[in-house]
């Protein structure tokens, strides 16, 4: 979630290049525009246009049978994923009551209830329920940034052997590289995400690549058994 902007509004990409990519990835479906407008109007953080286009392409290539999304918000990304591959089943978690209600509304409006199951609750509390539909071929982490490592550790056991874990916002507006001019709150978040990134890239059981797409996307895939460190 969050747009591709650095500290003090500085873009992580050249503004002209960013504008070019956004225009190329512009979706004209009315329902997409309506959800994007709703997110802007109500200050709901949703995945940016470049990031969601990248995620859709991953799903088209991977063709996951089951997806777990941690952080539904208003249902924007789960719907985009559902349309990217019509045979996938998605479980998405949302802890905010108002967001949960908007997500279920939008999913019902698009007649995707059979494809997307929204679970109300904190992702740290509903693992037992989520596990009932495991394993997942793709796990998408896009919720409370300070809890990323806990989410990863809790749900990686539900990943299929050839699955992948995708984490959004790992560059956090560029603040992971330099947060000296940010507010104290943003500095703390940047430090937590930076810690997560280091933990993730050093993880003994996963290969992780972090890409400067959207607000930064990490892709983690399990190492082969012979590669796993003790």
Domains in the chain: boundaries:
7-223
Per the annotation, does 168 bind a ligand? Answer: yes
Two tokens at 40?
């802007």
CATH class in words for 7-223: alpha beta
Per the annotation, does 122 bind a ligand? Answer: yes
- 92 three-state secondary structure: strand
Average pLDDT over residues 151-173: 97
Average pLDDT over residues 164-175: 94
Preceding peptide of 9 cis, ω within 30°: no
Per the annotation, does 114 bind a ligand? Answer: no
Write down the pTM of the prediction: 0.90
Per the annotation, does 194 bind a ligand? Answer: no
Confidence of residue 153 (pLDDT cuts 50, 70, 90): very high
The pLDDT value recorded for residue 208 is 98
Mean pLDDT of the chain: 91
Per the annotation, does 169 bind a ligand? Answer: yes
Q: What is the pLDDT of residues 82-139, one digit of tens each?
A: 999 999 999 999 999 999 999 999 999 999 999 999 999 999 999 999 999 999 999 9
Average pLDDT over residues 198-218: 96
Per the annotation, does 229 bind a ligand? Answer: no
Residue ranges of the alpha helices (H) in 85-207?
97-109, 127-131, 148-155, 184-201
Asked if the model's pLDDT at residue 9 lies above 80, the reply is no
Per the annotation, does 158 bind a ligand? Answer: no
Confidence of residue 229 (pLDDT cuts 50, 70, 90): low
Per the annotation, does 142 bind a ligand? Answer: yes
Confidence of residue 3 (pLDDT cuts 50, 70, 90): very low
Q: What is the pLDDT of residues 52-87, one digit of tens each?
A: 999 999 999 999 999 999 999 999 999 999 999 999
Going from the C-alpha of 184 to that of each of 62, 107, 166, 181, 190, the distances in angstroms are: 39, 37, 27, 9, 10
Two tokens at 94?
């949302």
The pLDDT value recorded for residue 19 is 84
């Amino acid at each position: 979630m969050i747009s591709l902007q650095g500290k003090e509004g500085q873009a992580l990409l050249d503004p002209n290049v960013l504008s070019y990519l956004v225009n190329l990835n512009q979706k004209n479906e009315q329902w997409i525009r309506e959800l994007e407008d709703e997110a802007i109007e109500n200050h709901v953080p949703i995945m940016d246009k470049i990031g969601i286009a990248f995620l859709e392409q991953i799903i088209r290539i991977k063709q996951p049978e089951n997806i777990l999304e941690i952080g539904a918000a208003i249902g924007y990304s789960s719907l985009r994923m559902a349309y990217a591959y019509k045979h996938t089943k998605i479980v998405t978690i949302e802890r905010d009551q108002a967001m949960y209600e908007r997500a279920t509304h939008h999913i019902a409006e698009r007649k995707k209830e059979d494809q997307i199951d929204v679970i109300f609750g904190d992702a740290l509390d509903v693992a037992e329920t989520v596990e009932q539909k495991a394993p997942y071929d793709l796990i998408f982490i896009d919720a409370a940034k300070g809890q990323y490592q806990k989410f990863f550790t809790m749900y990686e056991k539900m990943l299929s052997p050839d699955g992948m874990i995708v984490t959004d916002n790992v560059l956090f507006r560029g603040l992971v590289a330099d947060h000296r001019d940010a507010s104290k709150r943003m500095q703390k978040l940047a430090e937590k995400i930076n810690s997560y990134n280091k933990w993730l890239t050093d993880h003994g059981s996963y290969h992780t690549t972090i890409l400067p797409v959207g607000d930064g996307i990490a892709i983690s895939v399990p190492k082969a058994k012979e590669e796993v460190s003790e």
